[in-house]
Amino acid sequence: MVGGGPAGAVAAHVLAVSGARVMLLVRDRPNVDFTVGETVPAETRSILKRLGMDCLAPDRHLQSTGTIARWGSDAVHCREAIINPYGCGWLIDRQLFEQQLIAAAVRKGALLIKTGRIKIGSARTRWEFQIESATQNICMSAGYFLDCTGRTARFAIELGARRRIYDRLIAIWCQMEEQSGLQDFDKQIYVESSPRGWLYSAQIPNRRRVVVYFTDGDLCNIRKMKSRKIFENYIANHFDLKTVTSGLQYGIVAGPFCVNAASTRLVRAYGDNWVAAGDAAQSFDPLSSQGIVSAIVGGSNAVAALISSHSARRWMMDNFQSDLDHKYAGYLDERLRHYCANNDGRGIRSGDAATKPKQNCSLLVLLTRIWRRHGFGYVAL
């Protein structure tokens, strides 16, 4: 299993519970203190409980009371948590959440290895991994492998999987901290469309608030927006953060960072003795708030397909793929509907692209693919 996000950790846990010998390779990144993605729907807790990983508890993570949206007009739409039969959604401490999931997998017997670079090669029936860490290089082999490396789908792409990219969405995000010592009681999630995209804010544990601006990469001067002062000005002018935090003193303590938030999917998320799960298989517009829960469900479904008996595996994998395809088709329709509902013309670009997948096909990517498939002679040609 490569990747220590929700998909990798859950897959490692499910696989370890089934009795398999599991190696979970996670990136050793001691200097990375922040990860974005903190809103989790209420249903997630019962899914995790069923998997035996009850990590969402109110003493570690916050419970959200609902969502307030201004989408395409100044009308305010509220969705209160009280009308959800599963209860409140969650505003998680993302790093703690991932550590909890990994710890649960390790308790069930998964072997956790923190790595630097990983190289993968195949030796007939087994995969061979060369793992480089700060102190040593190790070679290991495995019968099956899961790519849970997030949107990069690092190893699936290396093995020749084709990826479709549906838009150019990027996210510029920061964490803010309340500095006057007062408590922020507002546990609602705020979503608001803006002329070239949309903004989002939610409180997270440790007296912090995350603010994210989503737009298309070609509509925004990223370098400028990554300046703390400019970003602070932008959110003060375009986002109702002032009302949300009135009387409080929030200042940026981390970021702004820019990350890719495009909707992407692999045309086929499995191959001989490998499978991709979570964002590596398909990623969603964060507007849908379904990335983490889909990664959790996807990780456990991928394992179910992988550990099925040899004769049933092909059928299970095809089923796994058709579930993914079906889900993604529904998601693309919904996404388009939402961006079109933003009918004063604001932030409509990402939805426009829904019908036109953009192939990830720069000249370099194309040459690399030809080289892998046919050898150097063809590239020279």
Ligand X SMILES: Cc1cc2nc3c(=O)[nH]c(=O)nc-3n(C[C@H](O)[C@H](O)[C@H](O)COP(=O)(O)OP(=O)(O)OC[C@H]3O[C@@H](n4cnc5c(N)ncnc54)[C@H](O)[C@@H]3O)c2cc1C
Q: Using alpha carbons, select from 7, 90, 77 the residue that is nearest to residue 42.
A: 90
Intra-chain end-to-end CA distance of the chain, in Å? 37
CA distance 193 to 56: 30
Residue from 84, 122, 133, 152 that binds ligand X (CB under 6 A)? 152
Q: Using alpha carbons, select from 338, 255, 291, 256 the residue that is nearest to residue 38.
A: 291
Nearer to ligand X, 102 or 317 (CB): 102
Nearer to ligand X, 60 or 154 (CB): 154
CA distance 147 to 143: 14
Residue from 1, 6, 188, 328 that binds ligand X (CB under 6 A)? 6
Nearer to ligand X, 228 or 374 (CB): 228
User: In whole angstroms, how far apart are CA 16 and each of 50, 51, 125?
Assistant: 15, 12, 21
DSSP string computed for 340-379: HH-TTSTT-HHHHGGGSPEE---HHHHHHHHHHHH-HHHH
Q: At 250, is the secondary structure helix, strand, or coil?
A: strand
- Using the rule CB under 6 A, is 171 a contact of ligand X? yes
- Tell which positions 262-321 bind ligand X, by CB under 6 A: 278-280, 283, 286, 289-293, 295
Nearer to ligand X, 112 or 370 (CB): 112
Least distance in angstroms from the C-beta of 280 to ligand X: 6
- Tell which positions 18-77 bind ligand X, by CB under 6 A: 25-27, 36-40
User: In whole angstroms, how far apart are CA 103 and each of 10, 73, 75?
Assistant: 10, 44, 44
Nearer to ligand X, 269 or 316 (CB): 269
- Using the rule CB under 6 A, is 153 a contact of ligand X? no
Least distance in angstroms from the C-beta of 262 to ligand X: 9
Site for ligand X, rule CB under 6 A: 2-8, 25-27, 36-40, 118, 148-150, 152, 154, 171, 173, 212, 259, 261, 278-280, 283, 286, 289-293, 295
